[in-house]
Amino acid sequence: MRATDWRILGFDEPRVPRYGPRLPMNESLSAIQADALARIDAAEDPRALEEARIASIGKKGALSLAAAAIKDIPKEEKAAYGQSVNSARAAITAAIEAKQAALQDAADQSALAGIDPTMPGRPLPTGALHPLTLIRDEAVGILRRMGFALADGPEIEDEFHCFDALNTPADHPARNEKDTFYFDSGKLLRTHTSSVQIRTMEADAPPVRIIAPGSAYRRDEIDATHLSVFNQLEGLYIDRDVSLPDLKGTLEYFLHELFGPSTGVRFRPHFFPFTEPSFEIDVKLEIKGQTPRWIEVAGCGMVDPAVFKAVNGSRGDNAYDPAVWTGFAFGMGLDRLAMIRWGIKDIRLLIENDARFLSQFA
């Protein structure tokens, strides 16, 4: 036995073993260690390294088998032998760990080869709200701050809520089959959100202060200013002593909030079956690249007592006594408001989902 073997095995002093036959055991430990270290050193990938580990310190590895042989060692040498086994295992384990780190480093290096990690990242495109959603949320926000609550109603309506209760007679053009989507059942896709007025009054006694944004449907030819599915925002305010100045002040304030304080607002006498008197509202504002002109944005008026009567009829009471309650109503096209706000010339852009158009609102 050579003195250096002991040093490898962790003994400081060379020692002369007492039992000749035991000598090969320690020699074999040092051989096992040397062999394992050589294999670890030669391993070029994690798999070869793992094989070297299994062959040396794995359950049935050479060192583990040698360790099990301790039972055949004379008692007084067991301690020294055990220490030799442990130090061989420690040396092999340390070599495996060092090699693992080296292999990982090499793998990281080659993964990064050709990549400049200091380059700025590529921006990810972010989503944005649709312009209709933006204008609706803004309109709803203004009116909610004025005390209006949100209300809702079905898009598949019956003729009573869409027409009759709104004082719209059977021969009114809006009820024509050419203008309205009817189902076989006699129900129809609501032609306006005004039906929510009736639904609300049937459900709640006055006072009422609601807004109802939602879809409306008409058999319109689709062109730059018409869609067969479009979006409206309805409003209804009923209380004691509500009069025309309340209507005017509310809608002027709303439109100034939405389009800016210098926006011109004009009320033009008009006719709607469910309001008397009735008006159309026009606004005039600076739109980039356009000469200012009056554009119609809404219909409105004082609720016709005939509407109260119809509601009382279906409620079976006199909750909306026209002698006590008065109110105003309004309805506007949200698509139209969006077109005005952003100078959109073709309403079809709002439903085409063209990312080049939509990304301008991001």
CB crowding 302-332: b at 16 or more within 10 Å, else e? bbbbebbebbbeeeeeebbeeeebbbbbbbb
Within 8 A by CB and 6+ apart from 9, the residues are 26, 29, 30, 33, 83, 84, 87, 88
Q: How far is the CB of 355 from ligand DAH (least distance, A)?
A: 31
Q: Which residues bind ligand DAH (CB under 6 A)?
A: 192, 194, 234, 272, 275, 299-301, 329-331
Considering beta carbons, is residue 49 or 212 the nearer one to ligand DAH?
A: 212
Considering beta carbons, is residue 6 or 217 the nearer one to ligand DAH?
A: 217
Q: How far is the CB of 191 from ligand DAH (least distance, A)?
A: 7
Burial of 108 (0-12, 13-18, 19+ CB in 10 A): exposed
Q: How far is the CB of 359 from ligand DAH (least distance, A)?
A: 32
Burial of 283 (0-12, 13-18, 19+ CB in 10 A): buried
Give the angle 23-28-29 at the CA atoms, nearest 5°: 105
Q: How far is the CB of 133 from ligand DAH (least distance, A)?
A: 21
Considering beta carbons, is residue 95 or 339 the nearer one to ligand DAH?
A: 339
Considering beta carbons, is residue 49 or 334 the nearer one to ligand DAH?
A: 334
Q: How far is the CB of 357 from ligand DAH (least distance, A)?
A: 26
Considering beta carbons, is residue 32 or 210 the nearer one to ligand DAH?
A: 210
Q: How far is the CB of 183 from ligand DAH (least distance, A)?
A: 20
3-state secondary structure 71-117: HHCCHHHHHHHHHHHHHHHHHHHHHHHHHHHHHHHHHHHHHHCCCCC
Considering beta carbons, is residue 18 or 226 the nearer one to ligand DAH?
A: 226
CA distance 362 to 349: 16
